[in-house]
């Protein structure tokens, strides 16, 4: 009855790394990111086994369960496809009105956000930055630095992921390097 137990999962507060029994890990290699970057022909010519990002998550209940929470850490490795920085696929939530928190843990990056009217903006992310992703806003993270970029996330267990919308239509802007700096370029400018 009245017992004191050890936690099932631990998080390394320096690196975001999760350890414990109920942790799942997903690797995304360049091969998994077809048509994600503007320069698909450049991506296709690179090493397809290269890991671009990895996600560790603690999902203590079944996906789709109402009113629970999930916790995850994402590591995005540094690099570019052409002039576009390595980034996640990005998604709306399947239950599109579900919000999410992100926070920066290590390195430098950006959170790319796009509403349903395809207005896209970016927020700088760094160790300690906190980001509230509102309902109905697609989100993708981008490593704009030259070392690994790590972020934490917490989202509702019934949010789900709608990757299809972004695979079909993309975001309306991309983060590219120009003269050594990240610049948000809209689809009109690059003819996405
Ligand atoms: C995050 C993301 C994670 C990977 O946990 O799932 O950063 O990005 P993609 O899912 O776009 O590949 C989250 O937003 N969960 O809802
Ligand atoms: Zn999400």
Asked if residue 2 belongs to a domain, the reply is no
Q: What CATH number should be reported for the domain holding residue 124? A: 2.60.120.10
* Distance (Å, whole) CA 23 – CA 181: 36
The pLDDT assigned to 13 comes to 97
100 CA to centre of ligand 2 in angstroms: 6
First to last CA, the chain: 60
- How many Cβ atoms from other residues are within 10 Å of residue 54's Cβ? 16
Asked if residue 1 belongs to a domain, the reply is no
* Average pLDDT estimate for 61-89: 98
The pLDDT assigned to 187 comes to 86
Domain that holds residue 86: 10-190
pLDDT at residue 66 greater than cutoff 90: yes
pLDDT digits (tens, 9 = 90+) for 24-63: 999 999 999 999 999 999 999 999 999 999 999 999 999 9
Contact 110, 88 (CB under 8 A): no
The pLDDT assigned to 155 comes to 98
Asked if residue 4 belongs to a domain, the reply is no
The pLDDT assigned to 22 comes to 85
Q: Which atom of ligand 1 is nearest to the CA of 90?
A: 11
Asked if residue 5 belongs to a domain, the reply is no
User: Of 137, 27, 139, 37, which is closest to residue 76 (Cα–Cα)?
Assistant: 27
The pLDDT assigned to 191 comes to 53
57 CA to centre of ligand 2 in angstroms: 12
Q: Which atom of ligand 1 is nearest to the CA of 163?
A: 11
* Distance (Å, whole) CA 83 – CA 163: 23
* Alpha-carbon distances, residue 184 vs 26, 111, 144, 176 (angstroms): 28, 11, 11, 7
pLDDT at residue 164 greater than cutoff 80: yes
Q: Which atom of ligand 1 is nearest to the CA of 155?
A: 16
pTM of the model: 0.97
* Ligand at shortest distance from the CA of 57: 1
The pLDDT assigned to 21 comes to 86
pLDDT at residue 190 greater than cutoff 70: no
The pLDDT assigned to 189 comes to 82
135 CA to centre of ligand 1 in angstroms: 15
Asked if residue 3 belongs to a domain, the reply is no
Report how many domains make up the chain.
1
Contact 46, 40 (CB under 8 A): no
């Amino acid at each position: 009855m009245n017992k004191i137990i050890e936690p099932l999962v631990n998080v390394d507060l320096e690196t975001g790394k999760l350890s414990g029994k109920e942790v799942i890990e997903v690797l995304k290699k360049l091969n998994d990111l077809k048509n994600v970057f503007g320069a698909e022909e450049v991506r296709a010519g690179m090493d397809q086994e290269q890991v671009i990002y990895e996600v560790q998550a603690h999902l203590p209940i079944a996906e789709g369960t109402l009113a629970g929470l999930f916790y995850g850490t994402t590591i995005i490795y540094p690099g570019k496809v052409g002039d576009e920085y390595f980034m996640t696929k990005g998604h709306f939530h399947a239950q599109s009105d579900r919000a999410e928190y992100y926070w920066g843990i290590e390195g430098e990056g950006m959170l790319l956000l796009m509403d349903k009217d395809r207005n896209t903006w970016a927020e700088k992310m760094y160790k300690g930055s906190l980001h509230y992703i509102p309902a109905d806003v697609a989100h993708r993270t981008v490593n704009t630095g030259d070392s690994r970029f790590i972020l934490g996330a917490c989202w509702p267990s019934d949010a789900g992921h709608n990757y299809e919308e972004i695979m079909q239509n993309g975001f309306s802007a991309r983060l590219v390097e120009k003269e050594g700096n990240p610049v948000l370029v809209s689809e009109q400018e690059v003819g996405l």
